[in-house]
Structure 1
Amino acid sequence: MLITGKEMLDVARKNKFAVPAFNAGSGQLLTGVMEAAEELQSPFIMAIHPDELSFLKDSFVSQVHHEINNTKLPITLHLDHGATHKQVIHAIQLGFSSVMIDSSHLPFEENIETTKKIVEIAHSVGVSVEAELGTIGDTGNSAEGGASDIIYTDPNKAQEFVERTNIDSLAVAIGTAHGIYPKDRKPKLRIDILEEMKDKVEIPLVLHGGSSNPDEEISRSVGLGISKINISSDIKISFTNKLREILNNGDSQIREPNVMYPDCIEATKTTAKEKINLFKSSNKAELYY
């Protein structure tokens, strides 16, 4: 069941859980997160980054739509970190029900103007819009990218940004980074910023780069109003670690995908289920019926 990002996150915000947004950038990863969500009856967001879409080709979106159309689970198909009007419009034409325009690297006024134009286009055809204020960090090992230095979201600026752009959800910078943190870097969320922001911003808040932060911080952020959390690196690492184990077991004749990938999909499912339970989204699908 395909729904918009607004429909998805308004329910999550009201009921104080976070929807997992999985960057499942292959058919095998898609199978893993679909099966995990089905088993736990969790709504989820299928997020595709422009770089992933460029690699997978538009035909992959047809596969995603097939899965969505053959389940009762509420699912949002979301463009993650759209950087240009062309990327966003292309996603809308492909049937995405939610898009992100990421102009966070621009000055505040330019970010507003760019975002407003996307909102006008997307809302005219019933597609939800996410934008970003502040900058998400970059550990240097993620397709989603980011900034070398985190610029924390100013709660007062966030309130103004939301009011002037009419976006449906806001990605905030409170100390996360895309990718997996190196051993010498310890992630720490600025919960104080989030506490102030939740009283000023009346739309769902989004956390990008949630793979490496401690579970207790993530859980607390959900309680303070985070309604969507992006997960990319964790599920991909689970998949590839299992694949390395299979390929390095001494059997050089292993080559069939239906032999190599089932255990990798199971590893993906295990990680996806852990995130679903951490975000408190298990058994929340019924709230959408």
Structure 2
Amino acid sequence: MSYCNLVHRLYSIFFYRRRRKVMLYNMMELLEVADKNNFAIPAFNVSDFAMFNGIMDVSERMCAPVICEIHPNELKHIGTDFIKGMISRAEASPLPVVIHLDHGATLANCMVAIRAGFTSVMIDASALPFEENVARTKQVVDLAHSAITYTKVTDDSDPRKTEDLKDRCDWHYAPSYHAMNVSVEAELGTIGVINEAEGTVDMAHIKYTNPDDAVRFAQETGVDCLAIAIGTCHGAYPHGQQPDLKIDVLKAIKKAFVENGIKTKLVLHGGSGNKVELLKEAARSGINKINISTDIKFAYYNKMYEILNADYDPEKKALKTLREPNAIQPECIKALEEVAAERIDWFGAAGKAKLY
């Protein structure tokens, strides 16, 4: 091998590894490492750039891989141009980052997200009969896994080079650094419903995920991640009404996936407000992603209420003085970061960015 070729090869490998450190990941890439190393990554729902920056900052301080989620309703509110800023911030970070659509209800929701630059989307058809859930999920999987661009590869030593025989021998094309297959998450089973106004939890609404159904669903859809129902609820639990999660159901599903050679990763929704030890056990027992929304938003907006309320004149029904966002939000972000840091520690994700 000539000196020039050797230098080129070393540069190519170095450049590839360097790019991977600052690159957006899809969910399967991110959770594959979590699964092999027996931890879970908190997926934080964000509604504005201040929240997003706070999650990125605390994750960087803790050297933790990060998943930032946006619900379709939130995406409609903030607009898809917001995603360009998220991508720019993520690509400047040393962390592996996933930008994920949470609870997409339709194919249109998912396509909007894919076109905007999300690296992972969820199609939630869990309220439909099994066969319809399979059909809708497979449709999104087929489309999302096709969301890839290609770049010309001329160097045989380039690690991006495809293993596909035709591409490798004839065309020398490989996945680009700047695009990837978009991962897909689905849900099987239903989680509980909290009536915050009445202070009640409807656990009867839960349909626990059946392990045999989960195996069949993963095999028929090819989905990358599967949210399972083991007893959690969306929202804030009324005082003293935290459920006991069915860790035995989780372990049975994980065992069935391993025995059937299924690579689909397991996800837990409704991670806010649950018993800490049960969440930790779930993270050790096969759950690789735990959704956190209510916990960080309560921290953020409760602090905002506290700050604004201190300046509120009840007689005039107005603020006594004008408060600019930069005088309000820093303390709110700090409160959010404190909660996020706890969850990163609980789930074993602190320090794990070095594994990527």
TM-score per shorter chain, which class? over 0.9
| Structure 1 CA distance for aligned equivalents of residues 241 and 121 of structure 2 | 31
Q: CA deviation at 1:7?
A: 0.2
> For residue 44 of structure 2, what is the aligned residue in structure 1?
22
Please give the secondary structure, in 1, of the residue aligned with 2:256: coil
Aligned residue among 284, 299, 306 for 1:223: 284
Q: Is the counterpart of residue 31 in structure 1 residue 86 in structure 2?
A: no
What residue is the counterpart of 1:194 in the other structure? 250
Amino acid at match of 1:80: D
Does residue 277 of structure 1 match 2:277? Answer: no
SS, match of residue 151 in structure 1: coil
* Contact 2:192–2:203 (8 Å) recurs in 1: yes
* Contact 2:65–2:96 under 8 Å retained in 1: yes
Matched, 1:100 2:122: yes
107-116 vs 177-186, greater mean Cα deviation: 177-186
RMSD: 1.6
Aligned-partner Cα distance in 2 for 1:98–1:157? 23
Identical aligned pairs, as a percentage? Answer: 46
State how 1:117-132 maps to structure 2 within 5 Å.
117-125=139-147, 126-132=181-187
Q: 1:110 to 1:157 in 2, by over 3 A?
A: same
Q: Is 1:163 aligned to residue 219 of structure 2?
A: yes
Q: Pick the structure with greater CA Rg.
A: 2
C-alpha contact (below 8 Å) 1:92/1:127 kept by paired residues: yes
Query: 2:25 matched to which residue of 1?
Result: 3
The 1:147–1:25 alpha-carbon spacing in structure 2 relative to 1, beyond 3 Å, is farther
Within-5 A mapping of 1:134-145: 134-140=189-195
| Pairing partner for 2:305 from 236, 241, 244 | 244
Could you tell me how far apart the structure 2 residues matched to 1:140 and 1:73 are?
37
Contact 1:247 1:254 in 2 (8 A): no
Query: In structure 2, the residue corresponding to 1:237 is in which secondary structure?
Result: helix
Gaps of 5+ in 2: 1-22, 148-180, 197-201, 313-319
- Provide Cα deviations, 1:141-178, integer angstroms capped at 9, x if missing partner: 5xxxx997111101110011101111111000000111
The answer to whether the 8 Å contact 2:242/2:275 transfers is no
Count of paired positions: 285
Q: Distance in 2 between matches of 1:61 and 1:140?
A: 32
Alignment partner of 1:62 is 2:84:
yes
Match of 2:166 in 1: none
In the alignment, structure 1 residue 72 sits paired with structure 2 residue 128 = no
1:209 aligned onto 2:270: yes
TM-superposition CA deviations, 1:92-151 (whole Å, max 9, x none)? 11111111110000000111111111111011121111110001223245xxxx997111
CA deviations on 1:72-101 (whole Å, 9 max, x unpaired) are 110001111111011101111111111111
Q: What is the TM-score with the length of structure 1 in the denominator?
A: 0.95
